A = this chain, B = another copy of it.
Amino acid sequence: MDKDKKRVSCSECPLRSLPAFRDFSDKELAFVSDFKTGELVADPGATILVEGAHSAHLYTVLSGWAFRYKTLADGRRQILNFVMPGDLVGLQGTLMDEMQHSIEALTPVRLCVFERGRISKVYTQHPTLAFDITWMAAREERILDENLLSVGRRSAFERAAYLLVYLYQRAKLAGLLTGRSAEIPVTQQHVADTLGLSTVHTNKTLRKLADRNLIKWRERACDILDEEGLLTVSSWEGFEESSRPFI
């Protein structure tokens, strides 16, 4: 086995972004080559996965932003969540028959491809990794829960505040941000489709947040001026990114 080659392919191993592998050496990650079958790059606006797709593979995001969404027959769109480096996508397509949502790139996105058929090997041979996949699924569920609470019960103002701190904190955890100026590569249309509001009302709501010096909206970016304020407005506690327990 040409370990060197494998090490190179693991130098930026997507699995390192999974909790269990953060502190693993390249050598320890070498076995990953057994599962990785390729890399993929998607341009902004490109559809990474489309609803209804069969036999999709499992991907980990190496870099870039994307979003998961569903649409109704007449075109109404709901953004379900945003995808950042370290995220796992395509689990539904891998486990069930087909994808029931689509994924679109917001910036150039690099993905690591795991072949669907090889997933069983993960479960039989690498229980720790299998556990991580479950952990990621539970994490996504938790985020969706909070999102649903937001869309269902928070006012437009609270909802927008929640979304912006949420994105800010997640981006920070994903190591995407340096200062307070969050390069959140979305338009107000995306925000509207996440909040379940119209673009017009979203615009007015963002303005209200800006008037209160909580944020400053810039084209495809947003400065978080008052993180605490946003948390208070949305009555959200923020992430306490609990690390995965030992197995």
Contacts and interface: CB of A to CB of B under 8 A. Distances in A.
Contacts of A127: 123-124, 127, 130
Specify how many copies of this chain sit in the oligomer. Answer: 2
Contacts of A80: 145, 148-149
Nearest to A120: B247
Contacts of A151: 148, 151-152, 196
Given A72-B235, A137-B137, A242 B147 contact: no
15 contacts: A72-B235, A80-B145, A80-B149, A91-B138, A92-B142, A95-B138, A123-B128, A123-B131, A123-B247, A134-B134, A134-B137, A141-B144, A148-B151, A152-B196, A153-B196
B95 A141 contact: no
B139 A141 contact: no
A133 to B, nearest CB: 6
